[in-house]
Structure formats: C-alpha cells, structure tokens
C-alpha cells in the first residue's frame, strides 16, 4: 500500500519505518527536507527513506498519516493545496493546551472532526493517539497487546486502518463514528497526565477488557 506520513517526529517516524518493514511504499512529507529531524530519521533507518514535500507525499499516498502537532494543522491545510479527496486520512493528533494543561478544544467537537472539515473529501479515521511513541516498537505488556482505539464514518477506511494497526502490533478497538474522537482525545490526555504529571512513566497503555459470558459462570 502507498502510505504518506506527514511529519518526521517520533510518532510518524516510528510508524513509517514499521510500515516500511512490512513492505508498504512509504513517503514522508515534510516542510523542510534538510531539517535535523529529517536527517535523524534517515540515519535511524536501515532502509532507504523517501522524503519529499507535503504535496508530493499526499499525491503519492492512498493512506495519509497526519503526525504533526495540532497547532500546525490549520496552517498545513490553509497554506498548501493538498489533494486528499477520497484518500484515507489517519489523524493521530491531540489538541493539547500549552504546558499539558488539558485540551484546547473538545466535547462539542474534536481535532479529528475539525480536520475532516479542512481536509475536503478525505475519509478521516482517528487512531494511534492514546499511547506514547516509545511503545510503538514493542506493544506487548507481558502477554497482553496494547490497544489502539479508532473511530471514523467510513467502514472501509476503518478496516484498512485496522489492518495497518494490527501490522504494528496493536489490538484494535473500533470505537464508532468520528464524533467519538471527542472521547478518545480526552482519553489521550489521561494517558499524558498519568505518564508525565503523576509519576507512572511512559511505559503504560490504556486497555479495554471484555469478560466472556462463560466466565461469569465459572
């Protein structure tokens, strides 16, 4: 599958390299090809890393992973003429307020819903936003795989994102339509606050446990 990764930071860089290892055609789209972060990304990979402009990467990708800070999203869509119509756009952003002091929007809308308004015609799926990037290369907590919670309005797009997430090693929880991102983004804020404010550290994951009916009668 042709995948565009917009951004070269920890989340985008790690997921992009994992998908490269799974034989997908990955192209990173960045504003500055010569930036130190892009150089570090290229040096950290044992395989050739394809880096281009954001526009070229979006044209390349059947699937686009949006992995940039929330405060850069509006400028991206307003400043560039991006062709995203009918493409699957995976949003892993979180609208975090400065100083990790909560979310800058939420409950009546979400970053994912706002991105869907800006990315005209894209099939937006929320995913990969409730766990730290340091866990992406090892999602096993003992014998239990970490969950990623996804939501979106297009069932086919969600199935494709599910497969990509499973290739990374996630157990995937379909959380419903895109407006459920209003709940997933606060869930990410819970992870962030536990990890960085309340001493749990970043080697943590949020897990949905489901009891099998037969277990109630054992």
- C-alpha Rg value of the chain to the nearest Å: 17
What the chain holds in terms of domains, given with CATH numbers, is: 2-208 (3.40.50.720)
User: What is the tens place of the pLDDT at every residue in 145-156?
Assistant: 999 999 999 999
End-to-end CA distance of the chain: 45
Token code pair at residue 116: 């869907």
Helix (H) or strand (E) holding 171: strand 171-174
Residue 155: other Cβ atoms inside 10 A: 9
Q: Please determine, for residue 49, whether its predicted confidence score (pLDDT) is greater than 90.
A: yes
69 alpha-carbon distance from chain centroid: 11
pLDDT mean across residues, the chain = 94
User: What is the tens place of the pLDDT at every residue in 100-151?
Assistant: 888 999 889 999 999 999 999 999 999 999 999 999 999 999 999 999 999 9
CB 132 within 8 A of CB 200: no
Separation in Å, CA 152 to CA 33, 39, 46, 174, 183: 31, 34, 34, 9, 13
């Amino acid at each position: 599958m042709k995948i565009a990764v917009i951004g070269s930071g920890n989340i985008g860089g790690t997921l992009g390299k994992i998908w490269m290892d799974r034989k997908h055609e990955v192209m990173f789209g960045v504003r500055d090809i010569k930036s130190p972060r892009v150089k570090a990304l290229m040096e950290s990979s044992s395989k050739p890393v394809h880096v281009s402009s954001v526009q070229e990467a979006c044209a390349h990708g059947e699937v686009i992973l949006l992995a940039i800070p929330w405060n850069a999203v509006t400028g991206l869509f307003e400043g560039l003429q991006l062709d995203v119509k009918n493409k699957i756009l995976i949003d892993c952003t979180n609208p975090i307020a400065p100083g990790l002091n909560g979310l800058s929007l939420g409950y009546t809308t979400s970053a994912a819903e706002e991105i869907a308004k800006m990315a005209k015609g894209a099939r937006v799926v929320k995913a990969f936003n409730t766990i730290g990037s340091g866990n992406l290369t090892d999602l096993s907590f003992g014998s239990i795989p970490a969950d990623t919670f996804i939501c979106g309005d297009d069932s086919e797009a969600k199935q494709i994102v599910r497969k990509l997430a499973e290739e990374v090693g996630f157990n995937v929880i379909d959380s419903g339509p895109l407006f459920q991102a209003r709940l997933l983004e606060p869930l990410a804020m819970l992870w962030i606050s536990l990890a960085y404010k309340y001493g749990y550290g970043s080697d943590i994951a949020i897990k949905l446990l489901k009891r099998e009916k037969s277990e109630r009668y054992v």
